[in-house]
Amino acid sequence: MGIEIERKFLLSGESWRTHAVGCRYRQGYICTGAGRTVRVRTVEQKGYLTIKGPSTGPAKLEFEYEIPVEEADELLADLCETPLIDKMRYTVDYRGFTWEIDEFYGDNQGLLIAEIELDNLDQDVDLPDWVGEEVTGDHRYFNASLVKNPYAKWKDDK
């Protein structure tokens, strides 16, 4: 069984960019509801199918499988809800952890989220100075929510 423990943060600075390495992601959702999702994703020339369970705080069940990129492209085009998520994902190493920073495009333009995966719920993490407000429990920032309610529709109401 795969369990993902992840914390999410908004960014408070741009200094992370000097150490960032990124690649383009496209993803969509075949199914979302009752806290469960079935996601299709392409990363460069690879495709993935991911099934996630409901969140319990920062933890959730997650199962991910590599699939042929041609099949992922077809699923994104024909079966996924729109708009698709289009983003650049950067990785930044900081004090023994790898941070993932998502810079969104399209209907989610302007949104930047930093995520860190942990080994256990009690794990201590030194936060970099470019990390701001924690939004781990705020469902608006879940990618599956950004399909149904893109950032462009609510960013001015925050």
b/e map 119-143, b = 16+ CB within 10 Å: eeeeeeeebbebbeeebeeeeebbb
Tell me whether residue 25 is one of the annotated catalytic residues: no
Active-site pick, 29, 90, 94, 141: 29
Residue 43 CB-density burial (10 A; 0-12 exposed, 13-18 middle, 19+ buried): middle
Residues recognised as catalytic: 29
